[in-house]
Each structure stands twice: as structure tokens, then as C-alpha cells.
Chain A
Amino acid sequence: MTILAVAEHDGTQVRSGAYSALTVARDLAKNSGDNVELLVLGSGLDSVAADASRFAPVIVADHPLLANPTADRYARIIANVAKARDAVSIIANSTTFAKDILPRAAALLNAAMAGDVTGYSVGNGELLLRRPMYAGAAMAVVTLSGQPQVITVRASAFPSAGPLDQPGERTVWNVDASTLPNHSEYVGLESRPTLRPELTEARVVVSGGRPFRTSEEFENYVGRLADALNGAAGCTRALVDAGIAPNEWQVGQTGKVVAPQLYVALGISGAVQHLAGMKNSRVVVAVNSDPEAPMFSIATYGLVGDVRQIVPELIRELGK
């Protein structure tokens, strides 16, 4: 039987988070003796399939009707592949791509799902999955009944899988266009271009909170410090709501979850919903003018002061 890892890609390469999902898939397969296959969906997938096959045998669902990741079609294909392969589990990295599509696929398969899994163990032949609840204030241990089990994992919680010695086989999945749903029409994607590393993959993340009142100010302080550290820039919900930063930069319960080596929180109070997205960072620095700010209680290093004064000093010190 098969453990199916669904890999998100950028049209050329598999996104790195998928390799964390693959690590989990391989580990589960090691215990159960199942095969691991990667599933890629899209249009014009030659380069993606080649990239993916370095890591595992690949099932390639390549069709113009799959050019954009619309949940209705992708979920249908994933469910069909899972049935054909008699999949015991379907695993993907926990991104909005998987959060949109996999629950729908689970429903088509009459399957249970656990999202944002950060750890697991096997007890009494059952897979015990650990996942955060209550904005990360609690960790739940759950089991899923029935098959397949649909699981999304947090990439930050698992190492990336390495390539195979020999590339895996590539299997073409025949997409029957006449059976594909036509529920939504893709219009486009709007994002704020940035040359900085992707938030969830960066070694260093510098995030800003409410004290930054304009996009320029955010750029001048948070952006510049991020650049000085070769890091990504993130923010709190306060700045996204105010239109100062785009939503894809939000860290937290309802934004992205990051766990970099270093997280620098500039003028962030430390609400639980924000902590949910960053508290597993290895080293946390808090800079805040309020010595009582809750952010300090989870920080490794704390510096009390005005971010407008401290950030330029930090940039100067880093240049020394």
C-alpha cells in the first residue's frame, strides 16, 4: 500500500516544505512497509516532475485544467489517486494550499484528517498524532479512525528529506477532463514582491508590530534589520489589518507558523495568537518600550527601549 505525499511546487521546483512532509511519509513507511509516492499536480510539469523524482517515485497529474490550484479539481484528483493506490495516508506540508484542498479530498474519501501535526508516535498499533490547539496553548494527542488518514504537517517541526541515490520512477496519471468539476474560475494572484527569503524557510525572521505606522516606516526599520541579518520580514495582525503589510507576512495562529534559529520581535506585545506562530523559534529577541510586555516572558534576550532608536543601533552594530 501507499503513503501519498502531495507536493506543492512553484511551477519549476517542488517547494521545500514538501520535503518535510516526505520525511514523515518515509518514516511512517519504514515502520509499516508501505511505499511512498509523491503526487504533483499542475500543468507543464516536466521540470517539477524531474525535481520531485530525485526524492521519491512521482505520480504526475499534468493537464491544462490543473494549471491553477483550484480545490474542486485538485481534491478530486487526489482522492482518485488515493483510491487507485489504496493509500493508507495522505501527507502534505501545512500551507494554505493543503489547508484548502486536503479537507475536501478527505471528505470525498470519507476520511479523517489532522492538520498542523508537529509530532507523532505509534502506540498499540495506532498512530498518535500531536497537534496544537487553542492557539498553541495546548497540544492535543489524537488518533484518526479509518483509512486513509489525511495529515498535514508543520514543515518547521520536521527535517527535510534528502534525495535518493537513484531517481524515482515517474508515472503519468491520466487526467480525465470530462470528470473534472468546474466549480471555480481562477482570476489571479496578487502579492507584494520581496527579495527576502520566504518566511517559513528563513533562518532569521524579523517581525514588526503596531509601532510601525506606514509601509515606509516598516521597510526602514523591520525591512532593513531583516536585510542586515539576511532574514525574512514578518509582522503582527495589527499591521496587516492597517494595510501596512500584506497578509502573507503575518505570523501567528491565523498567519504563518515559523520556527527560525532567530526571531526578532520589534514592538510586539506578545498576544497568544502571535506567539502561536513563533514560540518554537530557537532564540527569541524582544525589543519593546514596555518592560512588562508579555513578549519578554517568552524571549531569550530582552531589550527595553524605543524601536526607532534601537533598530538603527542594531544595524550599525551588525555592520561592525
Chain B
Amino acid sequence: MKILVPTKRVPSTDERVRIRPDGSGIEDASLAYMINPFDAIALEEALQIREQRGSNVEVTAIGIGNADFESELRTALAMGADRALRVDFDGCHDPWSVAQTLAAVVRREKPDLVLMGKQAVDDDANQAGQMLAGLLDWPQATFASKIEFVEPARLSVARETDRGLETILIRLPAVITTDLRLNEPRYASLPALMKAKKRPIETISCQDLGVSPEPKVRLVRLEQVTIDRTCERVADAAELVHKLRYEAKVI
């Protein structure tokens, strides 16, 4: 069984994102980066599936980007991925171009399962997995918080929806996108990270994949969001209720 896990490089969630004065993007000079947290959860799940189902499961981490993306792919190798593959791409991504590229990777690699984050915490788009499933005409299970094999090629997936926890059954091959509660990703140990530095990362060009992913979403500009509220400190519950009633008039 082959599992592909796309891993996106995103600014660390501990970073304060600042917008460049000209609005063309974020100040990225000194940012720390990480594997998109949802992708790390997807990778953890793939590794757990391998641990449960044995050595015939192969987990491949996929990066789509320039050479910088190799650092996240090395983290993926250190966490336990069997292989890492980078699609060399220096343009700007949108979910559409990512889905196109991943579909080409899927045609080449022929995985049984693509496990990926439900969204990347930079653009917060929440589209690439669904688009990929649509392009491949595969089953999809989004926002997964529990994945169980009910048969060798049939999975029960619990999905976190606005209405509650929905359960569906899907057949492989399929695309599953992960939500936060699926698992707690393991850390890559320092020795594993050192070892991963020496492991090969396969690189393939878009041309070799036969795709020329043209983004369809164009970023016109980014604006910093500031909240202008000045907090008025109140002394006690009585004063708060008074303010809410007679000053803010919201109750």
C-alpha cells in the first residue's frame, strides 16, 4: 500500500506575520518555517497506518516548491517517511495549481491513499484535497478526526462538520484531509533529523510530470489586519452588566 502525504512549508504558527509595506506579500526575511500543522497530522496518521499494517506500507512525503521546501521534507523523513519527493516549482501556488500538480504525481506514483491537511495555515484555503479528489474522480473524506480500516480497501472516516461528527465509508483509492483531532504528531528527534540530512530527496520538474500549473487565483495585495479596540477595564460584575446594558446596549 502506498500513501502520499503532501507537506507544505508554512511560516511557523509562533510567528507574527507582518505584511510588506507595498502589500505584495509577507515579510519573509527572518521567518521560521514548519510543516503545515495539518500536514504533520496527515503524516503522523500515515505513519500509524504503516505501524499497524506492517512493512508493505510505503509513506512518501511530497513537497511542491523550491529548494527551501527540502527542509520540511527532511523533517518528514526524520518523522519516519520512507521517501521524500519534491516537485520543483518556483511560481506562486494556489489550490488549483497544487491540485493539478498532485494529480500528476498521483498518476506517476499510483498511491492507494493521499492523506493531506484540510488547510494550510498560510492561505487558509481548504480546497486542494477536494480539488484533487475531483480531478481524479476519487472518493474524498474531508476534515477527518478518525480513520479506521473496516476492510483492506475500505475505510470508515469520522468527519468534523459544523453539525457534528459525521461518519462515512469510502473505498480506496481515496483522498482524506485531516482535522486537528485526528492525532498528535510525533516530534522528529535530533539524531533522526541529522540522519535525514543525508537521505536523498527525489526531485522532479513540472515538465517531467507533464504539468504547467497556472494559478487561477491572483493576489492583488495583502493588508495587515489591525483591531482598534481599547479595552476598558471594569471593576466587577455589576459594573460590567451596567456597561453592557446602558453603554454598549447589547443586552
6 nearest interchain CB pairs?
Answer: A191-B164, A107-B134, A112-B216, A313-B237, A183-B139, A103-B130
Q: Which residues of B contact A140 (CB under 8 A)?
A: 123, 219-223
Residue A34 interfacial (CB < 8 Å): no
B163 A248 Cβ-Cβ under 8 A:
yes
| Contact status B168-A114, CB under 8 Å | no
Closest residue of A by beta carbon distance from B118: A254
Once bound together, how far apart are the Cα atoms of A117 and B19, in whole Å?
Answer: 19
Residues in B neighbouring A102, C-beta threshold 8 A: 130
Contact of B168 among A116, A186, A192 (CB under 8 A): A186
Residues of A contacting B125 with CB < 8 Å? 115
Which A residues are in CB contact (< 8 Å) with B216? 111-112, 144-146
Tell whether A72 is near chain B: CB-to-CB under 8 Å. yes
**Inside 8 A of A16's CB, which chain B residues have their CB?**
none
A133 touches B162 (CB 8 A): no
Bound-complex Cα distance A143 to B17 (A)? 22
Other-chain residue from B131, B156, B171, B232 in contact with A300 (beta carbon distance below 8 A): B232
Task: Name the residue of chain B whose CB is nearest to the CB of A100.
Answer: B142
> B135–A248 contact, CB under 8 A?
no
Residue of chain B at shortest CB distance from A273: B13
What 1/0 mask marks residues of chain A from 84 to 120 whose CB sits below 8 Å from any chain B CB?
0000000000011101111111111001111110000
Q: In the docked arrangement, what's the CA distance between A106 and B95, Å?
A: 11
Q: In angstroms, how far is the closest chain A Cβ from the Cβ of B226?
A: 10
Asked if residues B161 and A97 are in contact (CB atoms below 8 Å), the reply is yes
A303 at the interface (CB under 8 A from B): yes
CB distance from A317 to the nearest CB of B (A): 4
Within 8 A of A (CB), among B1-51: 11, 13, 16-17, 19, 26
Looking at the assembled complex, report how far the CB atom of A244 sits from the nearest CB atom of chain B, in whole angstroms.
13
Contact between A301 and B240, CB atoms less than 8 A apart: yes
Task: Please classify the interface of chain B as helix (H, G, I), strand (E, B), loop, or mixed, using the class held by over half of its residues.
Answer: mixed
A interface residues, how many (CB within 8 angstroms): 89
**Can you spell out 9 A-B residue pairs with CB atoms less than 8 angstroms apart?**
A96-B160, A96-B163, A104-B131, A134-B124, A138-B225, A140-B220, A189-B161, A296-B233, A301-B234
Which residue in A95, A112, A254 is a CB contact (below 8 Å) of B94? Answer: A112
A46 at the interface (CB under 8 A from B): no
* B92-144 contacts to A (CB < 8 Å): 94-96, 99, 118-119, 121-135, 137-143
Interface residue ranges, A against B (CB under 8 Å): 70-72, 75, 95-97, 99-108, 111-116, 128, 132-146, 181, 183-192, 200, 203-204, 229, 237, 240-241, 246-248, 253-254, 256, 261-262, 273, 275, 279, 282-286, 296-304, 310, 313-314, 316-318, 320
Q: How large is the interface on B (under 10, 10 to 19, 20 to 34, 35 or more residues)?
A: 35 or more
CA distance A301 to B227 in the complex (A): 14
**With contact pairs A103-B126, A184-B170 given, residues A96 and B227 touching in the complex (Cβ less than 8 Å):** no
B positions within 8 Å CB-CB of A:
11, 13, 16-17, 19, 26, 94-96, 99, 118-119, 121-135, 137-143, 145, 156, 159-171, 174, 179-181, 216-225, 227, 229, 231-238, 240-241, 243-244, 248, 250-251
Given contacts A99-B126, A142-B217, A262-B250, contact A183 B140 (CB under 8 A): yes
Residues of B within 8 A of A256 (CB): 162
Q: State how many angstroms separate the Cβ of B171 from the closest Cβ of chain A.
A: 7
Q: Are A247 and B229 in contact (CB under 8 A)?
A: no
- The answer to whether A115 touches B96 (Cβ under 8 A) is no
A242 CB to nearest B CB, Å:
10
- Assuming A142-B220, A190-B167, what are 7 further A-B pairs, CB within 8 angstroms? A71-B130, A96-B160, A103-B127, A107-B133, A241-B181, A275-B227, A284-B229
Give the most central of A104, A105, A204, A285: most B CB within 10 Å.
A104
B37 CB to nearest A CB, Å: 9
Given A183-B138, A283-B250, A303-B234, also A248-B130 (CB < 8 A):
no
In the complex, what distance in Å separates the CA atom of A1 from the CA atom of B243? Answer: 51
Contact among B222, B231, B236 with A299 in the assembled complex (CB-CB below 8 Å): B231
Q: Given the known A-B contacts A114-B217, A299-B229, are A134 and B126 also in contact in the complex, defined by CB atoms under 8 Å?
A: no
The answer to whether A185 touches B161 (Cβ under 8 A) is no
Q: Are A183 and B171 touching (Cβ within 8 A)?
A: yes
8 Å CB contact of B126 from A115, A128, A229? A115
Q: B145 to nearest A CB, angstroms? A: 7
Known contacts A107-B131, A229-B251: A138-B232 contact under CB 8 Å: no
Report the bound CA distance from A192 to B225 in whole Å. Answer: 34
List residues of chain A with CB within 8 A of the CB of B231: 286, 296-302
Which single member of B124, B169, B233 contacts A184 (CB below 8 Å)?
B169
> What's the Cα separation between A27 and B94 when bound, in Å?
27
Give chain B nearest CB distance to A34 CB in angstroms.
20
A137 to B26 CA separation, bound complex (whole angstroms): 11
**Contact pick for A70, options B126, B165, B168, B171, CB 8 Å:** B168
